[in-house]
Amino acid sequence: MKLIIACILVVLIAGPVAGQEYLPLETGNFWSYIADGGGKEMRVVVDQVPIFQGTPYEIEYTISDDNQGLINYWTSGPDGDVLLWGFLRDGWGRLYQPPISMVDAPLAVGDSWTTTVDIYTLPDTIFMETVDFTLLVQEAPELTVPAGVFPTFGIGFLDPFATTQSTGRYTPWGEFMADKDIGMLSWYSLDVGIVQDDLGRRYKLETYTDHPVATVVSTWGAVKALYRGVD
Q: Using DSSP, state whether 38 is helix, strand or coil.
A: coil
pLDDT of residue 206: 97
pLDDT in tens, the chain (231 residues): 443 333 333 333 333 344 589 999 999 999 999 998 889 999 999 999 999 999 999 999 999 999 999 999 999 988 899 999 999 999 999 999 999 999 999 999 999 999 999 999 999 999 999 999 999 999 999 999 999 999 999 999 988 777 888 888 899 999 998 876 677 899 999 999 999 999 888 999 999 998 755 333 434 344 344 434 444
Q: Looking at the DSSP assignment, which residues form a beta bridge with residue 136?
A: 112, 156
- pTM equals 0.83
Q: E-strand spans in the chain?
A: 30-35, 40-48, 57-64, 71-76, 82-89, 92-103, 112-122, 127-139, 142-145, 148-151, 153-157, 185-189, 193-198, 202-208
Alpha helical stretches, state H, the chain? 2-18, 160-163, 221-224
Tell me the DSSP string of 73-93: EEEE-TTS-EEEEEEEETTEE
